[in-house]
Amino acid sequence: MPNVVFVHPDGAREELEIAEGTSVMQGATAQGIDGIVAECGGNCMCATCHVYVEPSQLASLPAMSEEEDALLNGTASERKPNSRLTCQLPVTAALDGLVVSLPERQV
């Protein structure tokens, strides 16, 4: 299974194996990652699954939809050029080794 590394605001790192075909958000919430809230359950409606993607890995992600782009304007923590919503990131073998940083706040 692909591995995804979550970096907490204090620098602590947690590495999870997440099954292909699920989303990065689903993997994080199922395995209890503190810092991914996912209030809407992955319907691209809440922006509480926000992360900052390692910039060098941005190009390996699927393109951002208009809905995700609009929602990212309402995140609790600052939107940055490498902001993404983890519910919109399907896990594939190509994402193995993805590193995402958790924002200070989700709500």
**Separation between Cα atoms, residue 15 and residue 60, nearest integer Å:** 19
| Residue that has been written with the tokens 């900052």 in this structure | 52
Inter-residue contact 6 to 82 (CB < 8 Å):
no
The least CB distance from residue 44 to ligand FES, in Å, is 5
Angle in degrees, CA 46, 52, 8, rounded to 5 = 95
Closest-approach residue to ligand FES (CB)? 87
Instruction: Report 26-85 residues binding ligand FES (CB under 6 A).
Output: 38-40, 42, 44-49, 85
The least CB distance from residue 25 to ligand FES, in Å, is 5
Sites of contact with ligand FES (CB under 6 A): 25, 38-40, 42, 44-49, 85, 87
